[in-house]
Every structure is written in C-alpha cells, then in structure tokens.
Amino acid sequence: HVVPHGDRTALFADGTGAITLIDPAAMGEGELDLLEETATEDPHHGVAVPLEDGGLLTTQGTEDSRSTVQVLDADGEVTAQTDDCPGVHGEAAAQPTESGDVISLGCENGSVIYRDGEFHKVAIEGDYQRSGNQKGHEDSPIVLADHKVEADPAGGIERPTEIALIDTRSDSQQIVDLGSEYWFRSLDRGPEGEALVLTADGELNILDPETGEILHEVAVAEEWTEPDNWQEPGPMMSVADGTAFVVDPAAQTLTMVDVASGEIYRELELLVVPHEIQVTTGTASGEYEIAPGSGESEGEHDDEGEHSGHDHEGHDH
C-alpha cells in the first residue's frame, strides 16, 4: 500500500510487514531516495502513514487478526496506541489541528481518529459498523467513508446505500442515505472538500460534507450493481483539478464533470473496457487547468491526481 502524506510517502508490504519511506520529490528528479526502512512486529494486511512531525502511524497485527494502531515518534518510540480497532482497514488524513495531523481509520466497531496526540473512538449504533474505505481532504475536518453494518452479509457482499460523514473534531458521524448502492470505487473528494459518491442508479452525487446536503446529482453512467468479484470492471471515478472523471465500463465511456457546477462538459467513447483509472499531470508542478474555460482544445489537457484514503482490501472491501 502506498500512502503519500506531507513530504514523505510510505510503502507498506503486507507479506513482510516492511515499511519503506521515500522522498517523492526526489522521484520527480529521477532519483529514488530511501529515507527510512522499518517493519511491523508481524506481517499483516496493514498500512503506514508518515506524519508531518517526522513520526509514523502504523497498524500492528497478524495474518489472522489486527486491532492495533500505533504512532511512533522520529526515534521509533511509541507515543500513542489503541487496541480498539478490530479489522483495521482504510485510512484518510483530514484537516490538521494546531497540534498536528488528524488521521481517521476504519474499524469493525466504528472508526478511530488520531488527533492531538491521542486516539479517539467514533460512537456508533449497534455492535458492528465498518468504514473500510475512507477519503479525506486537507482542508476539511470531515472524512467521507462507506458505511457497512452487516458482519456477515448474504452472499458475502453488503451493498450499502448509506455513507458516513465522519467529523474528526467531535468524533461523531452523520449517516446519509443516498437511496442507491455504491462500492469502494465510488468515493472521492472535490477541490473544496466536496464529498462525491457514484451510485448504482448511474448518478454522481456531490454533497456538502458539513451538512450532508446533496448539491448536485449528475447522470453519468448506466444503472449498475457491484460485481460479485471486486476485481471485475465496474464504474469508477477519480477527481483532479475540479473535474470528476467518471468511467462506465459497460458503455465504454469517460465523462468529465465540473464539480463546482455539477455540469458535464466533455464525454469520450473508449476503445477498450476500462478496468482502473488514475489521473496524473506528468509534471512535478501540477499547475494546470482542465475545467471549462481553460482554453485548451479537445484532446489537449493535463490533469492532476491526488491521493487520500485506502481504497480496498482484496476480497474483503
């Protein structure tokens, strides 16, 4: 798993528990600068997040279970720990406080938030609630996440219609029912922190993360349902520079939506069935516009990708 945060990027290897920290700016110069190499106590399906103060947030666990999240300082000493995050999966960085980074992580009994040097638990209704796919924004205290409440769903796949808007200031969450299912590829954030969710009715829902109000509903795809095999192609989205790029494999289309207005401004037919999407500028600066009015001719545009969140967990997403 690859998690960029601040001026460092963490690489986490499930099979060995190895954590490698690199300087992404050096990669822009064609160099690979290994800043630090460490490892968890045991291999497991985990994640590591570099912190702005030089520390590191990481999961601890085994192949059979994982419930622990630790924060290590620059010297490798544990400064904060929680063991109350069963099945830990999914992370997102939110707007930092004066004390530093704010990180949300998904658990099977409600998310846990690292803030002001301590871990805080998000209260839930019932015994089981999983937000294993989370999307944050550096200027928003709200984290967008999926909302699953079935510990043992029929057929092995839960098809939720509700999302969670996790408030990292109050350790609470607002649940919003969109009335249509979605999957782990459905979530992203807009340039102003808007919460974007692509639902199975073919709509792109653009929400105000503070209120949960739907600002725009945009028809961007045919109706669909989550594939039984998560590795099969399905509708997906990536946001960059104010544009939501939505791919519909069934129709073989790429639709570009201006997030601020909710307007579709370009549609392309694809010659292949798309399986993944990642938007990148190909330049270190990323200072390009692709939204309407940029003055670029059709077929000539640069786009910027951004990372936040931990997208999926193999067969258990």
Q: Is 289 left (phi over 0), alpha (psi -120 to 50) or beta?
A: beta
Share above pLDDT 70 across residues of the chain, in percent, rounded to a whole number = 88
Measure the CA–CA gap between 249 and 235, rounded to whole angstroms. Answer: 6
**Interval 15-39: pLDDT, tens:** 999 999 999 999 878 888 899 999 9
Q: What is the mean pLDDT of the chain?
A: 90
How many Cβ atoms sit within 10 Å of the Cβ of residue 161?
A: 15
Report the pLDDT averaged over residues 170-199: 98
Residue 46 contacts residue 59 (beta carbons within 8 Å)? yes
Retrieve residue 262's tokens.
Answer: 């909710």
| Sign of the dihedral defined by the CA atoms of residues 136, 140, 146, 150, in that order | positive
Residue 253 contacts residue 197 (beta carbons within 8 Å)? no
Report the pLDDT averaged over residues 192-221: 98
Burial 5-40 (b: 16+ CB within 10 A, else e): bbebbbebeeeebebbbbbeeeeeeeeeeeeeeeeb
| Alpha-carbon distances, residue 307 vs 102, 198, 238 (angstroms) | 16, 18, 10
Retrieve residue 213's tokens.
Answer: 């109000």
Measure the CA–CA gap between 167 and 179, rounded to whole angstroms. Answer: 22
- List Cβ<8 Å contacts ≥24 apart for 19-28: 19/48, 19/56, 19/58, 21/50, 21/56, 25/284, 28/284
Angle subtended at Cα 274 by Cα 271 and Cα 275, rounded to the nearest 5 degrees: 155
Pick the more confident residue, 88 or 25: 88
- Which pLDDT band holds residue 291 (cuts at 50, 70, 90)? very low
Report the pLDDT averaged over residues 227-256: 94
In the predicted model, is pLDDT for residue 285 greater than 70?
no
Q: Return the pLDDT at 172.
A: 98
DSSP string covering 98-141 = TTEEEEEE--BBB-EEEETTEEEEPP-SSS-BB--SEEEETTEE
- Which pLDDT band holds residue 140 (cuts at 50, 70, 90)? very high
Q: Please tell me what DSSP assigns to residue 148.
A: B
Pick the more confident residue, 312 or 243: 243
Report the pLDDT averaged over residues 292-314: 39
Maximum distance among all alpha carbons in the chain?
A: 54
Q: Return the pLDDT at 228.
A: 86
The residue with tokens 């620059």 is 74
Strand partners, 140: 137
| Alpha-carbon distances, residue 303 vs 235, 252, 272 (angstroms) | 20, 20, 21
- Which pLDDT band holds residue 303 (cuts at 50, 70, 90)? very low
**Interval 45-74: pLDDT, tens:** 999 999 999 999 999 999 999 999 999 999
Pick the more confident residue, 249 or 284: 249
